[in-house]
Chain A
């Protein structure tokens, strides 16, 4: 009897003593990740938890269309998640809003990425208006043109066009040949229209684009209405000549089912998409046509006098201003920016936003256009660091182009109004 009591007392004492010690070190942090690859990230997070026994990570998810407003609302009342996946251009505006914690003291520590802070892309976009760093670029991607080799060859296009005019002619040739769609870019409107991207690719191939920085540090609108109009006219010709059908006005996103299905069914010859969508098209095609060789290939966009210019897109990671778990959050960020194991084993379809890591991802032959495009891609630069917010321009450009495409305004009119709106916004916000 006495021995049992002794045992019991000892057992209780041991049990009572152990958990508090363990619990004192156990911390739970929240990580918001908004892309569909949540299961893959969860696996990566499980490995992080194994390597850091005192930290547990709960994942949250908000759909991208609502993610910005949701985060800012939460930051205003102090309930934002510890670590969050952010759109590439958010850290600057979020930092200015006081929603993110400055990271200057943390980025100097060893263990960030393959070769430290200086190896990261787009660091200028991660800097807030006060000069402090608010985000860590995590993944990067860009758009390239995926095309159906057989459809183009059948229309007499042997090599993929490298100029804008040749691209339009190739698209028209496909349409003339069999009534199929050439380059079926979406011309519809929504919160984040594709036409913004392809218009900028066109403008950037010929100059600095809408916003540029002057030598004395000020920002200006660096395109004339005539230059803006040229872009509208270029894409409007696709609609007028019929090789991008009017039905493209009914969809808006670059990964719309109309595009994916069009490419898969052989109804569309070309599409401008990020690598995730290209992979989707290729994978689905292989599932429908087992054993056959894939008819797709990819190429950078046409080049102008300024080269072939797309943007560095992607995601950044940030720590919220109200986070009480900064150390743990930073450990997570360090972990996630290492190619191994996050990118090598789990998040495999994405490229880390670091120069050294660009070559570490292996691309299949069909996707060769992407690493080539990444070589000449440019940062948003003055668009992101300037006084005119990207969402404002994105929406204004999309609406202006849409009104031209649907026939409500002439391209000259729309270009003049757009130029006016952006100039006003710039003047209003530039101190």
Chain B
């Protein structure tokens, strides 16, 4: 029996308490999911009947029209951009977080604080200078420059999140490995990484979702239709006079889905490696 299991029993929750917990969870999950489920259902209604109370008409045309308009390309762009950016960002953040957390060096405090400095500005005033910079360098409508932007934008908070998680990993493991002659990189990626996996999953999810829904920089730097990411394409369906609700709902559903699909295998890694091995403090 895992201790977590005993947690419930030990508390003397009994059947009533158990049921209460389960019911609370179901209610909470309902609130979490209902709005998006509404969107999903709406994406299968015709725009004419979508907001009508009562009867509605089923259709697949929203998706057909959306994909005809090239939305598949937008999803692909977003996927490639976000996955690559998150991969780079996470690797860099893990290394940097380890350095800040475990090592002692001159200027550490100042450097640690400065990581967050760029994030103190609201993004809306960062967009114009970034655009000017990229335009002068000829970096508009380029996947490479978008990756650069997204890595820079997700790094600070990723580092901070990971520093928080690193606190939970006992340093005795590091020391044992040092005595055995391991390099710091080996320590990070062979020993600490598996233990920190839940934290890394959480950090990567945060970074991915940040990229996935990012609008301002993508708007400024990607003007060619075939380069556009998914949020840009979604906003285009909000016209000044008329909004194309069918496209909006289908696009919203197609936007939410990949994240869930990507997260499904990842969340199994949310169990810590510490549960497997054990190191007495």
Chain A contacts to B: CB under 8 angstroms: 35-36, 39, 58-66, 69-70, 73-74, 76-79, 81, 192, 253-255, 257, 260-261, 264-265, 273-274, 276-277, 280, 283-284, 287-288
Majority secondary structure, B binding face: loop
Closest B residue to A59 by beta carbon equals: B225
Contact assessment for B245 and A257 in the assembled complex, using a CB-CB cutoff below 8 Å: yes
Contact assessment for B136 and A77 in the assembled complex, using a CB-CB cutoff below 8 Å: yes
Known: A61-B236, A64-B239, A265-B52. A36 touches B244 (CB 8 A): yes
Contact assessment for A66 and B219 in the assembled complex, using a CB-CB cutoff below 8 Å: yes
Known: A62-B219, A70-B219, A276-B241. A261 touches B51 (CB 8 A): yes
* Residues on A with beta carbons closer than 8 Å to the beta carbon of B162: none
* Residues on B with beta carbons closer than 8 Å to the beta carbon of A274: 241
CA distance A81 to B225 in the complex (A): 13
Query: Does B49 reach chain A (CB closer than 8 Å)?
Result: yes
In B136-174, the 8 Å CB interface with A consists of: 136, 140
Number of interface residues of B (CB under 8 A): 30
Closest B residue to A284 by beta carbon equals: B48
**Closest-CB distance, A215 to chain B (whole angstroms):** 37
**Cβ-closest 10 pairs across A and B:** A77-B135, A287-B48, A36-B239, A276-B241, A64-B240, A284-B48, A63-B235, A261-B51, A255-B241, A73-B131
**Closest-CB distance, B222 to chain A (whole angstroms):** 10
* Residues on A with beta carbons closer than 8 Å to the beta carbon of B1: none
* Residues on B with beta carbons closer than 8 Å to the beta carbon of A288: 48-49, 52
* Residues on A with beta carbons closer than 8 Å to the beta carbon of B224: 58, 60
Contact assessment for A79 and B225 in the assembled complex, using a CB-CB cutoff below 8 Å: no
Given contacts A77-B135, A257-B51, 19 further A-B contacts (CB under 8 A): A35-B240, A36-B236, A36-B239, A58-B224, A59-B225, A62-B223, A63-B235, A63-B236, A64-B240, A66-B219, A69-B128, A73-B128, A73-B131, A73-B132, A74-B135, A76-B132, A277-B241, A283-B48, A284-B47
**Closest-CB distance, B221 to chain A (whole angstroms):** 10
* Residues on B with beta carbons closer than 8 Å to the beta carbon of A283: 48
**14 intermolecular pairs with C-beta atoms under 8 Å apart:** A36-B244, A60-B224, A61-B225, A63-B235, A63-B238, A73-B132, A74-B223, A77-B131, A78-B135, A255-B240, A274-B241, A283-B48, A284-B48, A287-B49
CA distance A276 to B239 in the complex (A): 11
